[in-house]
Amino acid sequence: MVHKLNKTKKESVTMDSNVKYLNPKADLTFKLVFGEHPDLVMSLLNALLPLADDEQITHVEYITPEMVPENPAKKNSVVDVRCYDQMDRQFIVEMQMEWNESFKFSIVEKSAFNDAQLYAYEQFWDAVYVEKALIEGGYNKGRAEGILETARKMKQKNIPIELIIETTGLSEKDIASL
């Protein structure tokens, strides 16, 4: 028989024949799993980050999850897991059930990053947004070209213009100009 117990912060425990399963997406469980098992946090980071083979994380050391800013005007923050690796790169590992832009900016605003780290962070997100825009632009351009090519081929096969309009979404004027 399976029972679900709802605890604070929507953590759930499933019991079946005296066996307990903790929800790995629950805050406390996530911190326990990834905050106390270096092999698991290394595996997670290596799987999620676009690291070259020679940049793979082979060792982590945990550091306090509390981030005290150099600037006293900024807020302290506590993250789920904070560690650094053999190359002295620092990682903040947070479980977020839903991604939103405000989360990204709240981490920056509350962080203990110095000005150089914040600049690098902003440069990273600028590059991500540029790459995303280029990919989306290329996708949209390719899709539009594909629709025109399909309409051109349909027109060459003397398919009725009404069917070409219905299939491609192009106007009669656009099809006539092909």
Average pLDDT over residues 115-124: 74
107, 117, 155 from 110: Cα distances, Å: 5, 13, 59
Question: How wide is the angle at C-alpha 101 spanned by C-alphas 95 and 107, nearest 5°?
Answer: 55
Which pLDDT belongs to residue 156? 92
Query: Poorest-confidence range of 25-29, 67-71, 126-130?
Result: 67-71
Sign of the CA dihedral with 121 first, then 104, 77, and 31 last: negative
Which pLDDT belongs to residue 89? 82
- Residues 164-177 have pLDDT tens digits of 899 899 899 988 89
> Does residue 25 or residue 86 have the better pLDDT?
86
Residue whose structure tokens are 């491609």: 168
Which pLDDT belongs to residue 4? 38
Local confidence band at 158 (pLDDT 50, 70, 90 cut-offs)? very high
Which pLDDT belongs to residue 44? 85
Q: Where are the domains of the chain?
A: 1-113, 114-178
Which pLDDT belongs to residue 23? 76
> Does residue 158 or residue 123 have the better pLDDT?
158
Is the pLDDT at 83 greater than 70? The verdict is: yes
Report how far residue 141's alpha carbon sits from residue 115's, in angstroms, rounded to the nearest whole number: 39
Q: Which amino acid is at 35?
A: G
Which pLDDT belongs to residue 72? 67
